[in-house]
Amino acid sequence: TREIRGLDVALNDGNCAYRVHDLTSVRIILSGAAPLGKELEEALRSRVPQAILGQGYGMTEAGPVLSMCPAFAKQPTAVKSGSCGTVVRNAELKVVDPETGFSLGRNQSGEICIRGPQIMKGYLNDVDATSKTIDVEGWLHTGDIGYVDDDDEVFIVDRVKELIKFKGFQVPPAELESLLISHPSIVDAAVVPQKDDAAGEVPVAFVVRAKDSDVSEEAIKEFIAKQVVFYKRVHKVYFIHAIPKSAAGKILRKELRAKLVAASQTAST
């Protein structure tokens, strides 16, 4: 068993174990910490085709596992791209509207909530944080946006706190990032909110071009506009050399928001 941090980086590293070692004995690959995009899934399957690839979902406060890919079960089923599997035994899962708290149906995105004997009792000496996370009915609010499909499989879309609020509409950055990375001239991307007087917030993208690519901002904006509703359109594109990420592969959005502030201050002077 080996933990591979920053899988997207590892796959593109010529010195990584994927390239310099014989991996024909690998049977199972479980991914966690950050969602695998379709492109990354396909790249990993092409490198280790004999292995079963699946994702799990969890958080420390919840035991820590919330759901697991059914491909790892005693009676495995086919793996769905993007699926985190089905909820673990002895646990209940529901999806609620993050604004109203009302329960949502299948295939409707909202905040994932979990309840069961495995969740934490609370945060040590922090009643306020505990009450904000676990409601009076015992549901732990994960802060993750996702949905459950017709086969009871869980899909994670984004984080509640990372949703971009455009004129009251909710825009998940991860959805736009997935579309951006599907462009042949883009190798990586991140989307964050930018303050806007009229809309409140608008989506802006940080993009890493592919080698020798000269794709323009307008071409990227048009590429996205053709695939999304009006409120999800990218309003600005910034080109950078690399998307800042943690050791676990999570986008460091705080650093990107700081770049926006710096750019705004420079423009106003």
Q: What is the DSSP string of 129-152?
A: HHHHHB-TTS-EEEEEEEEE-TTS
CATH of domain 163-268: 3.30.300.30
Residues 103-140: pLDDT tens digits?
A: 999 999 999 999 999 999 999 999 999 999 999 999 99
Provide φ and ψ at 141, rounded to 5°: -90, 115
Q: Half-sphere exposure of 239 toward its Cβ, with a 13 Å CA cutoff?
A: 14
Sheet with strand 28-31: strands edge to edge: 28-31, 52-58, 65-68, 83-87, 153-159, 140-148, 110-115, 92-96
Q: How confident is the model at residue 7 (pLDDT cuts 50, 70, 90)?
A: low
Q: How would you classify the pairing of strands 28-31 and 164-166? A: unpaired
Residues 6+ apart with CB under 8 A from 158: 144, 145, 172, 173, 174, 175
Residues 6+ apart with CB under 8 A from 269: none
Tell me if 7-161 shares its fold with 163-268: no
For the segment 190-207, the average pLDDT, to the nearest whole number, is: 95
Strands (E), 161-229: 164-166, 169-171, 186-196, 200-209
Q: Which CATH superfamily is domain 7-161 in?
A: ANL, N-terminal domain (3.40.50.12780)
Q: Are 209 and 239 in contact (CB under 8 A)?
A: yes
Q: How would you classify the pairing of strands 186-196 and 200-209? A: antiparallel
Domain boundaries, the chain: 7-161, 163-268
Q: 249 vs 186, which has greater pLDDT?
A: 186
The yes-or-no verdict on residue 248 having pLDDT over 80 is no
Q: Collapsing DSSP states into helix, strand and coil, what is residue 161?
A: helix
Provide Rg for the chain, Cα atoms. Answer: 20
pLDDT at 1: 45
User: N- to C-terminal Cα distance for the chain?
Assistant: 54
pLDDT at 2: 47
pLDDT mean across residues, the chain: 88
Pick the range with the lowest mean pLDDT from 2-16, 122-136, 211-225.
2-16
The yes-or-no verdict on residue 81 having pLDDT over 60 is yes
